[in-house]
Amino acid sequence: MEWNFLTAEKLAAALRAGEVSSAELTDEAIARIERDDKAINAICVPDFDRARAAARDADQARARGEDRPLLGIPVTVKESYDIAGLPTTWGMPPHRDYIPAEDAVQVSRLRAAGAVVLGKTNVPLGLQDVQTFNEIYGTTHNPWDHGRTPGGSSGGSAAALASGFGALSIGSDIGGSLRTPAHFCGIYAHKPTLGLAANRGMVPPTAPALPTEPDLAVVGPMARTARDLALLLDVMAGPDPLTLGVAHQVTLPPARHERLHDFRVLVLDEHPLIPTGSAVRAGVARVADALADGGARVERHSPLLPDLSEAATLYMQLLFSGFGAAFPVETYERLRTHAAGLAADDRSLDAARLRGVVFSHRDWIEANNRRELHRHGWRRLFTEFDAVVCPITPTPAFPHDHNPDLLERRIDIDGVEYPYLDQLVWAGLATMPGLPATAIPTGHSPRACRWEYSSSAQPSRTAPRCGWPNYSSKRSAASSHRGRAHYLSTRRGQAANHAESPFR
């Protein structure tokens, strides 16, 4: 029997029933990677010897009567997570030999749940791209079309899942780095509510793995089904045991509804600052039609929707404000001069990014106050709607573009070129206010890459910044996932989004 594409849920059932051993699953996964990954390059740091040992341990634990959530299930981990004994480089050549001494919190949680870690998946340089390539590990290709990107920065994880290299993976997201790869590769990914899952040990080399409270950035699960996302999120959710975990635990709330006809859904397919390609609009329309056919109340407009132009500008400013602190003083001062030279009426996203890089603390506080107004707007909207359906990016997966200057790159939308970084506006819709968002496949684009939409949940009322989405699609009609369905989007390819720096 072919096990590599079965869901984690089905693998767990087969393991419990004694139909297969973890050692057999692990050997089969390794064989597939060794056979197929030469053409895809998803697994950049294999850890096969330790994986086989972990599989044997899992089989012995099951023989003793143990039964943990992921016991014996092969998984992968994004390269940016610390794993003791393996390099963590973030694709940066000066750190190719850096090996951390301990596991990241989420890796520890995987191991405690019984997962078998096959290895680490590829990332872009510094996690700063919606593609996946770097000088150390090379280029990762989209499994559906090797001439196209799998997305980034969790592109290696998305490509691995689409290729049958493990049943689950963990990534991160600040600019769509979980959702965009899922969109491009046709898998599922979930960007949790800001603060829901601890991220200690997901830090650039050689920074110490200390507890942090990042603005915008999250870690999250990736899988081939929505139910598997729920399984993995249960393992990942919870505060850092060194900080908030000392005082409280997370309890994720139940779904707002169980039946599709009880849902009220707002559908968006146009953005005022960048067009949405025809292929993506068609994907959004398919989702909207399926929801309406299933009995959901579907609307196309709402006066309660926060202003999308202001949201995109605010997102870009907050996103890029974190970069300036790492720049050398002379670089920062030069950028301040450039920003001061911008016309007062320049409201382009390029201008927003430049102004954000040189934000003062006062500027950031003012932007953060405006963000709170947007959060209040979303709270009001979700008194009238249960979910929002919208794109993840304006296009399906695009051809590899390795121009080292991101400002020179362009994204082609139906034959017209736009600034490369402007495609982040849809990902930022959920990221800026800290909302959860889930990417769910919906079909293929005309060029045979997979479509997806993404759903995000309203932050929980029972735990700080805690939420979980409800999924509803042809694959899993009205399937329940703790929390409130909140923000859905479509993407091309087989993976969804993720991010760090602009993308992590």
Which residues are identified as catalytic?
Answer: 78, 153, 177
Q: How far is CA 60 from the centre of its chain?
A: 34
* Alpha-carbon dihedral angle through residues 432, 436, 442, 444, given to the nearest 10 degrees: 40
| Other Cβ atoms closer than 10 A to 299 | 14
Q: What is the DSSP letter of 19?
A: S
**Cα–Cα distance, 225 to 239 (Å, whole number):** 25
φ and ψ at residue 325, rounded to 5 degrees: -65, -25
- Where do the DSSP E strands lie in 1-79? 43-46, 74-78
**Cα–Cα distance, 482 to 225 (Å, whole number):** 15
Q: Give which of 435, 440, 484, 496 is closest to 192, Cα–Cα.
A: 435
**Cα–Cα distance, 325 to 322 (Å, whole number):** 6
Per the DSSP assignment, residues forming a β-bridge with 457 are 485
How large is the angle between the packed helices 22-40 and 48-63, nearest 10 degrees? Answer: 160
C-alpha distances in Å from residue 454, one per residue of 142, 160, 359, 457 = 20, 20, 31, 10
H or E element that contains 230: helix 226-236
Contact 472, 260 (CB under 8 A): yes
Give the β-pairing of 297-299 and 264-267.
parallel
Q: Which alpha helices (H) appear in 275-360, and where do they start and end?
A: 278-293, 308-324, 329-340, 349-357
C-alpha distances in Å from residue 47, one per residue of 26, 74, 76, 85, 105 = 11, 12, 10, 10, 19
